[in-house]
Amino acid sequence: MATTGTAATAGTVTTGHAWERTDTGYTGVVADAEWAREIRRLADERDAVLLAHNYQLPEIQDVADHTGDSLALSRIAAASTASTIVFCGVHFMAETAKILGPGKTVLIPDERAGCSLADSITAEQLREWKAGFDDPVVVSYVNTTAEVKAETDICCTSSNAVDVVRSVPADRDVLFCPDQFLGAHVQRETGRENLHVWAGECHVHAGINGPELAERAAANPDADLFIHPECGCATSALYLAGEGTVPEDRVKILSTGQMLDAARETGASSVLVATEVGMLHQLRTAAPEIDFRAVNDRASCRYMKMITPAALLRCLSEGADEVHVPLDVAERAKASVERMIAIGTSGGGE
């Protein structure tokens, strides 16, 4: 990863909160009221805006300035007057914020917070794949590294993936990466035979399977089913819904922002949610009268959960980990992201 951090393995801040670096993340800090005050004080001191992805721990979401999906947060980052962006999410998201706002300092509380979907294809693998075709068009889901985006013609979210692929002339081969479930959905929708799909996946989606989804829907016959199409786990659910594995009339394919709107508007008293479990916090806050349940409560992203209270405290006190993207990579990656935004409904990314 194109980042640099400090080598410190432990530290203490003026409040007495002490953090410790372990192999699985930063620990040792309880998210109490004093912690929240210290986080806000340090953020002011650094002229930093705190952004939290919807899949973050509740206490991280609550202390942040903005909570949302990856693209919305990146746009907020680019438009912000703050000189420092603290991106509480996974690494490719912080990279996207840096790509869209190259003049700002972008920090991620733990640079080890990766993404199994983004890691399923490297720039080198993509270059080799491209070399096997005659002038192909590369379409990549936003869950990719900056280097892969730089090798990409058009990025997409699952909201506009079909439109993006349809925008490519019919006689050009399309290489679609890295999510095989989203790729299968696009192939089915477009009927395109010259669409080639990379066999990548998110480790979280593996926890949601067809029989489980169908079983939960059958056991909760009055519940709406909110499926988030952006995350790896949810794109598998999207595929299953398209296959008719769950009844179509109760299935609502929604971005995280649309989920919050739908939660306020639905007449249902219970809702099954097919996405990473961190989203439940936002939904329960938006509509406390509704019984929101995860389709799979094990659908928790360990990378997202590496942004702990200790990691955020250490990030703000040490100014680490800083995210760097080489300028030439950022420029090419930015072009593919901007083409995505120009086509159809871009949605919010993961």
Applying CB under 6 A, the residues found at the interface with ligand SF4 are 90, 115-117, 143, 202-204, 231-232, 276, 301, 303-304, 350
Q: Which of 99, 83, 27 is nearest to 323 (CA)?
A: 99
Q: Which of 177, 165, 166 is nearest to 140 (CA)?
A: 177
Residue number with CB closer to ligand SF4 (106 or 202): 202
CA atoms of 338 and 103, how far apart (whole Å): 18
319: left (phi over 0), alpha (psi -120 to 50) or beta: left
Residue number with CB closer to ligand SF4 (80 or 236): 236
CA atoms of 228 and 128, how far apart (whole Å): 32
Q: Find out whether 323 and 111 touch, Cβ atoms under 8 Å.
A: yes
Residue number with CB closer to ligand SF4 (25 or 28): 25
CB of 285 to ligand SF4, least distance (A): 20
Residue number with CB closer to ligand SF4 (115 or 241): 115
Residue number with CB closer to ligand SF4 (43 or 299): 299
CB of 57 to ligand SF4, least distance (A): 14
CB of 230 to ligand SF4, least distance (A): 8
CB of 79 to ligand SF4, least distance (A): 23
CB of 298 to ligand SF4, least distance (A): 12
CB of 1 to ligand SF4, least distance (A): 14
Residue number with CB closer to ligand SF4 (25 or 136): 25
DSSP annotation string for 143-181: SS-HHHHHT-SEEE-TTTHHHHHHTS-TTS-EEEESBHH
Residue number with CB closer to ligand SF4 (60 or 290): 60
CB of 304 to ligand SF4, least distance (A): 6
CA atoms of 313 and 270, how far apart (whole Å): 36
Q: Which of 350, 53, 317 is nearest to 204 (CA)?
A: 350
Identity of the amino acid at 202: C
Which strands make up the sheet holding 174-177, listed edge to edge?
A: 154-156, 137-141, 174-177, 195-197
